[in-house]
């Protein structure tokens, strides 16, 4: 008598995967993508057209003679208010605001989150609660008092002022992000390090931060996009010499002498959006990896 | 590391700790001698870890003093107390290699590199983890991780080793293996060790003395033999020993006789701590192995067998005397089946009597 055996290789047709619910899902994804991509498409093609073609009024058509003129104009010649140097100055201003703000706000947030979850100073819970409450108050409320304080202290309309503002306004989110991460680590790890004689900063830098790299990546993404896209704080606190790109963009778009140069406006807008866009493209994989790394222990 | 230069005594004097309104330790006194192996045994949440953390300096005391090696260290940092600690969750630094895990504390203390290397190599050899030195903790099994954690404590060359349930995340076999390893280590180093567990087998096998804790207090402090044979109260009697001690409720009658509705037992051989009064209600505690079969004996007490559990080397008979339950340990060959009536005798010297408050008589 022969015993029946399971065959070693799968055979027969691959089972069908395209169930109605799948079709629905794909349809939904397609529509969503179209919804977000259509404006982008329009902006892109418009920025590549000369004004003569734009005047024809067909916004969906591909450019007959693609040109980068509008882009170079937007970058270096478009008028923002009185000066006509394009938005390149704004770009560099934004970078100068962005880099220190991101670094400082993440360092401060990580440190406070770490201190709160492991050292638990007296009143830490209260402080944390206060931080969370403040995070929910619309920040416009703070603007006028802060302007007064800053001019008293002498950092109104300065790079230092705007960096400080971004650090302070980023603090609740950054602290929460890092605190939650550190709170998920076993307290015994911290105790072991204390027995080993490590102090506040050594535990933070040598033991806790290496374990927080995925969270730090998430923090960088949040802060870079948030600070780059900021308009009102930059307008109020940065001062005329340091106006960020978003403010410059607004000036470009609103400075109209005669005909509205749609192609230049579109190009300037796309240029401004480039940094967050790059962050998402470059870090998307990291972002997912960071979240996945947080999900599996060790 | 082979000679033991620093063996420290540990002394807790009136230590109190509260978390907010919840008091966890209540005026606790404890003396641990040099080179002693003390086990803190107690159910979950009784304050064992809190006590250990207080000795380590990881938890501040609200009042009282802690002395280690003749020094008052109540307000000193953990690193200055001359202690090493091993944790239940291993607590290895995940981004560091095994070698780095073990050398980290020494490097922090500013020790010279060759000395650090020598100590790590030595400790790794003792614990047989030399071939693991360049791995990351995530590449180790649970047993290996705990070995590394013990190694990390070992290199510190401390006078006192503190263990907080180091074996409870391991499976039974590894647990037994590391248990003997720790005992061997104690013999070799001669360091003072304080070991927290809620596993009574660990406590009985490892300890020079056991401190049984419950509800913020040490219920009994004594040798494993003392704790097992002469439990100070009913809680200790129940908590230590497996299967647990059986209890018969009754009272004392004229002439030091224990009496229940179904049996009378002469207690003249029992070492009373204080003379009992006639008529007082008592609980009689009997360990399963202190019961003997006595066929043909006129004074034997008949017990009805309800269940038989073969344990390999011996067997357990779950019986009843009247309504009271009694567990009996018999040799594996004893022919016994549910429904049988066994004639039983107790060795009076090994009985345990507890008053209505549960204190030993
Ligand atoms: N940080 C804390 N805040 C408030 N209460 C705490 C804290 N740590 C411990 N406790 C409480 O103190 C009591 C003793 O805790 P401890 O950790 O010392 O118990 P344990 O004997 O080690 O228990 P286990 O065997 O479960 O580890 C428990 O009731 C616990 O709920
Ligand atoms: Mg514990």
Q: Where are the alpha helices (DSSP H) in B138-242?
A: 142-155, 172-189, 200-206, 224-229, 234-239
User: Which of B126, B190, A197 lies closest to B118, judged by CA?
Assistant: B126
- Which ligand sits nearest to residue A187's alpha carbon? 1
What pairing do the DSSP bridges indicate for beta strands B324-331 and B314-321?
antiparallel
Asked if B79 and A202 come within 8 Å (Cβ–Cβ), the reply is no
Is residue A229 within 8 A of residue A255, CB to CB? The reply is: no
Distance CA A293, CA B138 (A): 13
Options 2.40.37.10, 3.40.50.970, 3.30.360.10, 3.40.50.300; CATH for B10-239 is 3.40.50.300
CATH 3.40.50.300-classified regions of chain B: 10-239
Identify residues of A whose CB sits under 8 angstroms from chain B CBs.
186, 188-189, 191-198, 202, 206-207, 210-211, 298
Torsion of CA A232, A235, A236, A237, to 10 degrees: 110
Express each pLDDT in B2-61 by its tens digit: 444 568 999 999 999 999 899 999 999 999 999 999 999 999 999 999 999 999 999 999
User: Which of A195, A62, A83 lies closest to B162, judged by CA?
Assistant: A195
Coil, helix or strand at residue B271: coil
Crossing angle for the helix pair A159-183 and A88-114, to the nearest 10 degrees: 40
Would you say the CB of residue B360 lies under 6 angstroms from ligand 1? Answer: no
ipTM comes to 0.89
Is residue B84 within 8 A of residue B154, CB to CB? The reply is: yes
> B246-354 has which fold?
OB fold (Dihydrolipoamide Acetyltransferase, E2P) (2.40.50)
Looking at the CA of residue B19, tell me the nearest atom of ligand 1.
Answer: 4
User: Which of B248, B265, B267, B271 lies closest to B256, judged by CA?
Assistant: B267
Ligand 2 geometric centre to CA of B164 (Å) = 6
Q: Largest Cα–Cα distance of chain A, in whole Å?
A: 98
Distance CA B273, CA A27 (A): 85
Per-residue tens of pLDDT for chain A, all 298 residues: 455 666 667 677 666 677 888 899 999 999 999 998 999 999 999 999 988 888 888 888 888 888 888 899 889 888 777 778 888 889 999 999 999 999 999 999 999 999 999 998 888 889 888 888 888 888 888 899 999 999 998 888 899 999 999 999 999 999 989 999 999 999 999 999 999 999 999 999 999 999 998 889 889 988 999 999 999 999 999 988 899 999 989 888 887 677 788 888 999 999 999 888 888 888 777 766 655 555 443 3
Express each pLDDT in B46-103 by its tens digit: 999 999 999 999 999 999 999 999 999 999 999 999 999 999 999 999 999 999 999 9
Torsion of CA B62, B64, B68, B72, to 10 degrees: 100
Find all residues with CB under 8 Å of B25, minimum gap 6, and list them: B15, B16, B17, B47, B50, B51, B54, B216
Is residue B11 within 8 A of residue B5, CB to CB? The reply is: no
Ion ligand 2 nearby residues (CB, 5 A): B 49
Coil, helix or strand at residue A28: helix
User: Would you list the domain boundaries of chain A?
Assistant: 17-67, 88-295
Give the number of C-alpha atoms closer than 13 A to the C-alpha of residue A220, restricted to the C-beta side: 18
Distance CA A109, CA A176 (A): 8
Options 3.30.70.260, 3.40.30.160, 2.60.120.650, 1.10.3720.10; CATH for A88-295 is 1.10.3720.10
- From residue B104, alpha-carbon distances to B107, B113, B136 in Å are 5, 11, 14
Residue B284 tokens, joined: 């009689």
What pairing do the DSSP bridges indicate for beta strands B301-310 and B314-321?
antiparallel
Residue A285 tokens, joined: 């994989």
Distance CA B290, CA A73 (A): 100
- pTM over cut 0.80: yes
E strand map for A180-285: none
Of A186, A202, A207, the CB nearest to B89: A186
Of B87, B95, B149, the CB nearest to A210: B95
CATH 2.40.50.140-classified regions of chain B: 246-354
Looking at the CA of residue B213, tell me the nearest atom of ligand 1.
Answer: 21
Q: What are phi and psi of B65, to 5 degrees?
A: -130, 150
């Amino acid at each position: 008598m022969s015993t029946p055996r399971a065959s070693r290789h799968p055979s027969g047709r691959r089972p069908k995967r395209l169930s109605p619910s799948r079709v629905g899902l794909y349809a939904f994804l397609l529509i969503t993508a179209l919804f977000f991509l259509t404006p982008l498409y329009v902006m892109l093609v418009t920025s590549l057209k000369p004004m003569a073609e734009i005047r024809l009024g067909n916004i969906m058509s591909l450019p007959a003679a693609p040109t980068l003129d509008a882009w170079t104009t937007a970058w270096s010649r478009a008028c923002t208010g009185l000066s006509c140097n394009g938005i390149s100055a704004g770009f560099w201003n934004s970078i100068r605001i962005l880099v220190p703000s991101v670094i400082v706000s993440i360092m401060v947030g990580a440190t406070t989150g770490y201190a709160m979850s492991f050292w638990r100073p007296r009143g830490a819970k209260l402080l944390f609660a206060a931080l969370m409450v403040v995070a929910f108050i619309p920040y416009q409320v703070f603007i006028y008092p802060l302007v007064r304080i800053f001019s008293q202290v002498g950092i109104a309309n300065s790079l230092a002022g705007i960096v400080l503002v971004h650090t302070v306004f980023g603090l609740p989110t950054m602290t929460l992000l890092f605190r939650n991460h550190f709170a998920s680590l076993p307290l015994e790890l911290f105790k072991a390090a204390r027995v080993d004689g490590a102090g506040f900063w050594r535990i933070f830098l040598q033991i806790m931060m290496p374990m927080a790299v995925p969270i730090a990546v998430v923090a960088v993404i949040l802060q870079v996009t948030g600070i780059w896209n900021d308009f009102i704080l930059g307008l109020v606190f940065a001062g005329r010499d340091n106006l960020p790109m978003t403010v410059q963009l607004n000036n470009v778009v609103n400075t109209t002498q005669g005909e509205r140069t749609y192609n230049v406006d579109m190009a300037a807008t796309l240029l401004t959006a480039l940094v967050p866009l790059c962050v998402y493209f470059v870090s998307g994989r990291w972002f997912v990896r960071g979240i996945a790394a947080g999900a599996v222990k060790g | 590391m082979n000679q033991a230069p620093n063996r420290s005594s540990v002394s807790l004097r009136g230590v109190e700790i509260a978390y907010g309104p919840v008091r966890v330790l209540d005026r606790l006194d404890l003396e641990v001698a040099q080179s002693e192996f003390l086990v803190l045994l107690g159910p979950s949440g009784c304050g064992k870890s809190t006590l250990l953390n207080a000795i380590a300096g990881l938890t501040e005391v609200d009042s009282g003093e802690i002395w280690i090696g003749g020094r008052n260290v109540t307000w000193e940092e953990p690193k200055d107390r001359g202690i090493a600690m091993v944790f239940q969750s291993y607590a290895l630094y995940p981004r560091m290699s095994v070698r780095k895990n073990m050398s980290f504390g020494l490097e922090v203390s500013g020790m010279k590199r060759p000395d650090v290397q020598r100590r790590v190599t030595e400790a790794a050899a003792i614990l047989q983890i030399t071939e693991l030195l360049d791995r990351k903790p995530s590449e180790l099994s649970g047993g290996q991780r705990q070995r590394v954690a013990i190694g990390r404590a070992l290199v510190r060359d401390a006078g006192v080793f503190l263990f907080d349930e180091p074996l409870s995340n391991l499976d039974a076999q590894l647990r037994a293996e590391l248990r003997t390893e720790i005992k061997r280590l104690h013999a070799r180093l001669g360091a003072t060790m304080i070991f927290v567990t809620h596993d009574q087998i660990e406590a009985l096998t490892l300890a020079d003395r056991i401190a049984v804790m419950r509800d913020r207090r040490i219920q009994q402090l004594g040798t494993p033999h003392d704790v097992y044979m002469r439990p100070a109260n009913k809680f200790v009697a129940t908590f230590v020993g497996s299967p647990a001690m059986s209890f018969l409720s009754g009272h004392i009658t004229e002439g030091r006789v224990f009496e229940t509705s179904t049996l009378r037992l002469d207690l003249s051989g029992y070492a009373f701590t204080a003379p009992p009064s006639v008529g007082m209600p008592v609980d009689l505690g009997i360990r399963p192995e202190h019961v003997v079969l006595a066929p043909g004996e006129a004074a034997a007490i008949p017990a009805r067998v309800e269940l038989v559990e073969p344990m390999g080397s011996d067997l357990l008979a779950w019986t009843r005397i009247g309504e009271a339950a009694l567990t009996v340990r018999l040799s594996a060959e004893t022919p016994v089946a549910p429904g049988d009536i066994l004639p039983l005798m107790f060795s009076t010297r090994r009985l345990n009597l507890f008053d209505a408050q549960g204190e030993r008589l």
